Amino acid sequence: MSELLAAVCQFSPSASPEGNRARVVELIGDAAARGAHLVVLPEYSNYFVDQLDASFAENAETLDGPFVRTLQSAASAHGVTVIAGFVEEAGDRVHNTLVAVDATGLLATYRKQHLYDAFGSRESDWVAPGDLSDAQTIEVAGLRIGMMTCYDLRFPEVARTLVDVGADAIVVPAEWVRGPLKEHHWTTLLAARAIENTVYVVAADHPTPIGVGHSQIIDPSGVVIGGVGTGEGIAVAPLTKDAVDAVREKNPALRLRRYRVVPR
């Protein structure tokens, strides 16, 4: 049985791109020292201030910019795969982008599809949405890993689209903004996406007071097998293809579906 050790790194990105790069290098090294093969960092890991404003465009980078190069260098140094969110250049606005990198370079790119225009926020004022048909997956240690971002979690079809292209686990970098019942929404939706799709969910958030914290690794039955509280920290837990297959054998809901999600 091959085993993939996944790590979620919960930290507070700041308005200092240089400081954020130094912090993610430290976190990747710490996660690798704990045996992780896959390291997941939050949304907006290269730059963040509360609230979104014009400074995001001023600090946006390209896919070959300093932040992604730093991730790749750290991934190569520690022999791990890293998935992280960053602010990508996109003309008049920016993209809220995830990248997956390892020692070989850039493996996949995902641009957030559903922007956070809710609870008084207007992410779409500053961010351009990604392509709705963009189901991005990578393979790590024999598991197929799908990618989505934060508010995408509230739309079950995003996860189902990833499962329909073979995902065994779904990674969710986030900046889940605090508010009434938001911790409950976060943890409930993470478990729901795992249960209804019989996949692992690996979710990395910002800590309080801006995020809700509670970064988690959830198994295909919806059980939390690793997690962080409300402060900064790292959690590591094992993922196996055998566990996914065993849950799907007992609960063949994916095989019994009478329709499929068709990307528009």
**3-class state of residue 209 by DSSP:** coil
CA quadruple 71, 187, 60, 62: dihedral sign: positive
Question: What is the identity of the amino acid at 242?
Answer: D
Of residues 43, 88, 123, 183, which has the active-site annotation? 43
For residue 196, give the amino acid letter: E
The whole-angstrom separation of Cα 243 and Cα 129 is: 34
The span from the CA of 65 to the CA of 43, in Å, is 17
Q: Which residues contact 128 (CB under 8 A, 6 or more apart)?
A: 90, 91, 93, 94, 95, 111
150 catalytic per annotation: yes
DSSP 33: H
43 is catalytic: yes
Residue 8 bridge partners (DSSP): 40, 235
Which among 61, 150, 175, 183 is annotated as catalytic?
150
**Is 237 exposed, middle or buried (CB count within 10 Å of its CB: 0-12, 13-18, 19+)?**
buried
Q: How far apart are CA 251 and CA 9, in angstroms?
A: 31
Which residue of the set 9, 61, 88, 112 is catalytic? Answer: 112
**Cα–Cα distance for residue pair 32/205, rounded to 1 Å:** 19
Q: What angle do CA 131, 88, 93 make, to 5 degrees?
A: 75
- Report, as residue numbers or ranges, the catalytic residues: 43, 112, 150
